[in-house]
Structure 1
Amino acid sequence: MDESNANKQETKKPEEEATSLQNVERNGKLNRLKKMWDGFMQRFCPRRTRNGGNSDSSSNDIPKLTVVFDLDSTLIYSTKKKQFTHQEFIDPIRHYVAIRPHCREVLQSVREVANMMVYSAGTPKYVHHIVQLLDPEKKLFKKVLNRNNCKLRTNIFAKDLRKTGCMLKRTVWIDDLEESYPFQPYNGIVIKPWIGDPEDNELNEVLKVIMQLTKEKNVCSFFKKNYKR
């Protein structure tokens, strides 16, 4: 080997080492970016099954969410005297009832991602007929609780989510009265009471929170972190 070739090889070694070091650094950055992206996808995007569809709760490590709806001023507005044209008279309970805007669409959307129940302070007869109006085919609500499942305290019929038999950390209530749930204040969404406004859009706003909760392992922790009571 002549001297010129030896010099070329010696010059080449530092260049190769520098290139190798750059490749290691670049690969390290790519790996870190990939981990960040994977974390983002797991946090904000639904998991996929092998056939491309969204996975259900049976294939997830998070148990299915249970959403417990109140009735009066939450899903419906009920009066003994007719107050506006879109109220329907329910003869067995002698009340005029209107269904909150977007109620049916929201219930159908929630049904696809969670179990649903009704928990009302109304009498058994009253609750039965309102639920029949909302769910005539009995496909929406897994369980219906009424006044008999409440506890009277300080003139309020208090509701207790333990009566649902569901895992509390995966159960959320939707009610216009926060004091209805003195035992589980951090399990709920307090919705603006509805008294007949045809332009009301509150249920769609609640739906956004419900969709987020389907991804949260602990409902209580989520509310404690994001909402002040």
Structure 2
Amino acid sequence: MESSIITQVQREDSRSSSKTDQVNKSSPQKPGSRNIFKKLICCLRAQDAQLPTSPTHDALLAPEDNGTIAKVPGECLLPAVTSQDQGKICVVIDLDETLVHSSFKPISNADFIVPVEIEGTTHQVYVLKRPYVDEFLQRMGELFECVLFTASLAKYADPVTDLLDQCGVFRTRLFRESCVFYQGCYVKDLSRLGRELHKTLILDNSPASYIFHPENAVPVLSWFDDSEDTELLHLIPVFEELSQADDVYSRLEQLRGP
């Protein structure tokens, strides 16, 4: 089970060719609504687009050696590690299609309805929670230093996270402005966090978001509305094992198998 979960990056979910497609399908058919929603909740790559290649040393941020603390101009994205998180692995967790799915279109069973002002108009965003997200986040908060990192705008993602994370699992929240825009994608560059890379993981449904550091990734299938989904439940034992790793690279390699 653990090996199959870790190797999901090689599987193609026919329902999730991109976040853009699902947002477009769920948006009401009125002028401008789809574009507004796309701006609010980021899609990381266009339909059928190839993933960007890994950055070279000529890119804005050269890749760091495995296990080193980020050495980039300016301040690190994360504050100093608190006493309660000393010695813990840092886990970067995505929001949309990983923990929740959101839409402008009214959803009768929405878990949250979040008002968001966009271009002077208040829009209602309907949010569904992924099955077992509460249990998953509670356990993650016990094991790791958890960081929310989304390419969506803070005006949407912050109030959604307020409602989702009632127990304060996320120590820090990072939004679109903390991403690196690279070859048309918003990439979450782990080398800018200020944490040791061999003690850092990222959970995200889009491989484009961790293209700089694929060796740190725990892939998860995109989620939209499947009430029978068990991805997060099955990931709990995987992360329980990873929490004991001295080096996430070697442990992830073991879980991926031959």
Task: Pick the TM interval, shorter chain.
Answer: 0.5 to 0.7
Indicate the residue corresponding to 1:86 in structure 2.
110
Change (3 A) 1:129 1:226: same
Counterpart of 1:99 (choices 120, 125, 129) is 129
Name which structure has the greater RCO, CA cutoff 8 Å, separation 6+: 2
Q: Is the 8 A contact 1:106 1:207 kept in 2?
A: yes
User: What pairs up with 1:104-115 in 2 under 5 angstroms?
Assistant: 104-115=134-145
User: What pairs up with 1:113-132 in 2 under 5 angstroms?
Assistant: 113-132=143-162
Please identify, of 92-101 and 102-111, the stretch whose mean Cα deviation from structure 2 is larger: 92-101
Q: Computing the radius of gyration over CA atoms, which structure comes out larger, 1 or 2?
A: 1
TM-score under structure 2 length normalisation? 0.60
What SS class does the counterpart of residue 112 from structure 1 fall into? helix
Indicate the residue corresponding to 1:71 in structure 2.
95
1:181 to 2:205 alignment = no
Q: Is the 8 A contact 2:181 2:187 kept in 1?
A: yes
1:195 to 2:219 alignment = no
What SS class does the counterpart of residue 212 from structure 1 fall into? helix
Q: Deviations over 1:26-77 (max 9, x none)?
A: xxxxxxxxxxxxxxxxxxxxxxxxxxxxxxxx9xxx9312211100000000
Note the aligned Cα RMSD (angstroms). Answer: 2.1
1:87 CA displacement: 4.3
Q: Is the 8 A contact 1:66 1:117 kept in 2?
A: yes
Change (3 A) 1:84 1:178: farther
What SS class does the counterpart of residue 126 from structure 1 fall into? helix
TM-score under structure 1 length normalisation? 0.68
How many pairs are equivalent? 168
Which amino acid letter does the alignment assign opposite residue 236 of structure 2? L
Unaligned runs of 5+ in 1: 1-57
Please identify, of 151-160 and 96-105, the stretch whose mean Cα deviation from structure 2 is larger: 151-160
Counterpart of 1:165 (choices 194, 197, 214) is 194
Q: Distance in 2 between matches of 1:104 and 1:112?
A: 13
